[in-house]
Amino acid sequence: MTLDTKITIPDTLFLQTVDDEIILLDTNTQEYFALNEVGSIIWNILEEEKNLRKVHQIILDMYEIDEKQVESDILKFIESLKEKKLILVD
Amino acid sequence: MTLYGFEVSEEASNSYDSTNRFTLIEDETSSIKLSYTLDLHNNQHREISLQSDQPFKKIKKKQTIKFIVKDVVTFTWIVGEKKVYYVLNKLGSKELLKYWFYHTLSPLLLTFENTYFFLHAGGVEIDEKAILFVADSFGGKSTLTDFFIKKGHLMISDDKIGTYEENGKIISVPSYPYHRPYRKVEDLGKELENFASKKREIYTIFNLVKSDQESEIKITKAIGIEKFKVLKYATDIDLSVHQELQFKSIGNIANKVKVYDITIPWKIERQEEVYQAIISFIKMKDK
């Protein structure tokens, strides 16, 4: 997986924010998940942009963090979502 | 009588209809089968199911729905209307008709209409505030509600509570006027005199956490996913219909109502202590 991998958020996934925590409900399995702080930042941008490279760039513009570290965080997060079948990856 | 904020009446004809009143009408044609079926779980040792002329995934206005308690009673209604037709089956009786209508069908009907979001909770008033108790099965919800009733507090419900949003606040409806501090199948319970009469903003929800007999009574605020889980578990009608709406309702309540975990020592003699801890906590919160 790279920052150029195409990501789709399925329409069977619902989202709620409770006390600043993002909670996702997968209506296919009825399971729900809470995102951690890093995950929430990535998810919020991903929902708008639907493009990992843009997510990467926006995070770099927002925070003073190492470029490689951001890339690794994004890919790890996307991998964990994919494993839980919360996103579709081309 | 008032049930979930609505009047209930039984009419011989279908001439009367009102949006503020449920009208039960006996009708032999209620047994006609519809195309879509949804089996429901229940703990009353009956087979119960829903049928509809349209899929259940998204309930629409004017959709015809049947609620069937096998061999007992079949109810039919059209979503958006408060007239409910019924036919009693071989094991049916007026008492069982009342039980299934009051206890199970009315909340289903009001959920399908999006009138209320139902919480599986006990509820009482403390200083004119609505306080709700939720818990796991056999977690002490009914016992604690009963203790508050005996102390003279008005009961909102001892089992399920209709809630809705009004002006950014989550309101609880005086829901179920019967009280059942015991377990018995298909039993309405005793009609209670000190049943609440006003809809009120939900002030606090206590999540009862069963603890050792000697444990300290601790009250801690639940936040984020933990609060969400408490409310998800306390969702009374958890069907595969209106899923998105249900998810939003839980999130909405989570964001608008304070939820606290309270440890409950599992010893009946310590109920008074639990009672005092809750009263003190509410009074302190007011200040």
Nearest Cα residue to B164 out of B230, B253, B41, B56: B253
Q: Using CA coordinates, name the residue in chain A closest to B243.
A: A27
* Tokens of residue B44, six digits: 């009353």
The vertex-B133 CA angle with B255 and B236, nearest 5°, equals 75
Element (H, E) at B124: strand B122-126
How does B172-181 read in b/e, with b if 16+ C-beta sit within 10 Å? Answer: bbbbbbbbbe
Residue B4 is predicted with a pLDDT of 93
* CA B59/CA A30 separation, integer angstroms: 19
Q: What percent of chain B has pLDDT over 70?
A: 96
Contact B23, B10 (CB under 8 A): yes
Q: Using CA coordinates, name the residue in chain A closest to B248.
A: A16
All residues of chain A having their beta carbon less than 8 Å from the beta carbon of residue B226 are none
ipTM of the complex: 0.81
All residues of chain B having their beta carbon less than 8 Å from the beta carbon of residue A34 are 224-225, 228
* CA B79/CA B108 separation, integer angstroms: 11
Rounded mean pLDDT of chain B?
91
Interface touch B247/A14, C-beta < 8 Å: yes
- For residue A7, what are the contacts with CB-CB under 8 A and spacing of at least 6? A46, A50, A51, A52, A78, A87, A88, A89, A90
pLDDT, tens digit, 9 for 90 and up, residues B218-267: 999 999 999 999 999 999 887 877 788 889 999 999 999 999 999 999 99
Residue B30 is predicted with a pLDDT of 64
Residue B173 is predicted with a pLDDT of 97
3 state DSSP class of B9: strand
3 state DSSP class of B249: helix
CATH number of the domain located at residue range(s) B118-286 in this protein: 3.40.50.300
Reply yes or no on whether the pLDDT at B139 is more than 50.
Answer: yes
* Tokens of residue B125, six digits: 């008033």
* Tokens of residue B167, six digits: 């002006």
* Tokens of residue B269, six digits: 């003699």
Interface touch B254/A34, C-beta < 8 Å: no
Interface touch B251/A19, C-beta < 8 Å: no
Residue B184 is predicted with a pLDDT of 87
Torsional sign, CA A69, A71, A72, A73: positive
Residue B15 is predicted with a pLDDT of 45
Q: Using CA coordinates, name the residue in chain A closest to B225.
A: A34
* Burial (CB count <10 Å: 0-12, 13-18, 19+), residue B286: exposed
* CA B67/CA B105 separation, integer angstroms: 7
Cβ within 8 Å of A, B 168-227? 223-225, 227
Reply yes or no on whether the pLDDT at B16 is more than 50.
Answer: no
Task: List chain A residues with pLDDT less than 50.
Answer: none
- For residue B59, what are the contacts with CB-CB under 8 A and spacing of at least 6? B65, B79, B112, B241, B242
Best of A19, A32, A37 to substitute, by most chain B Cβ atoms within 10 angstroms, is A19
- The DSSP letter of residue B28 is G
Residue B28 is predicted with a pLDDT of 76
- For residue B257, what are the contacts with CB-CB under 8 A and spacing of at least 6? B170, B202, B204, B205
Interface touch B248/A16, C-beta < 8 Å: yes
Best of B57, B170, B225 to substitute, by most chain A Cβ atoms within 10 angstroms, is B225
Reply yes or no on whether the pLDDT at B47 is more than 70.
Answer: yes
Residues in A whose CB is inside 8 Å of some CB of B read: 14, 16-21, 23, 25, 27, 32, 34
> Which range is least confidently modeled, B129-138, B165-174, B177-186?
B177-186
Interface touch B228/A25, C-beta < 8 Å: no
CA–CA min distance B245, chain A (Å):
10
Interface touch A21/B251, C-beta < 8 Å: no
Of residues B160 and B244, more confidently modeled? B160
Q: For B277, phi and psi rounded to 5 degrees? A: -65, -40
The domain limits of chain B are 2-115, 118-286
Contact B133, B145 (CB under 8 A): yes
Q: For B269, phi and psi rounded to 5 degrees? A: -65, -15
Reply yes or no on whether the pLDDT at B12 is more than 70.
Answer: no
Q: Band of the pLDDT at B31, cuts 50, 70, 90? A: low
Contact B89, B100 (CB under 8 A): no
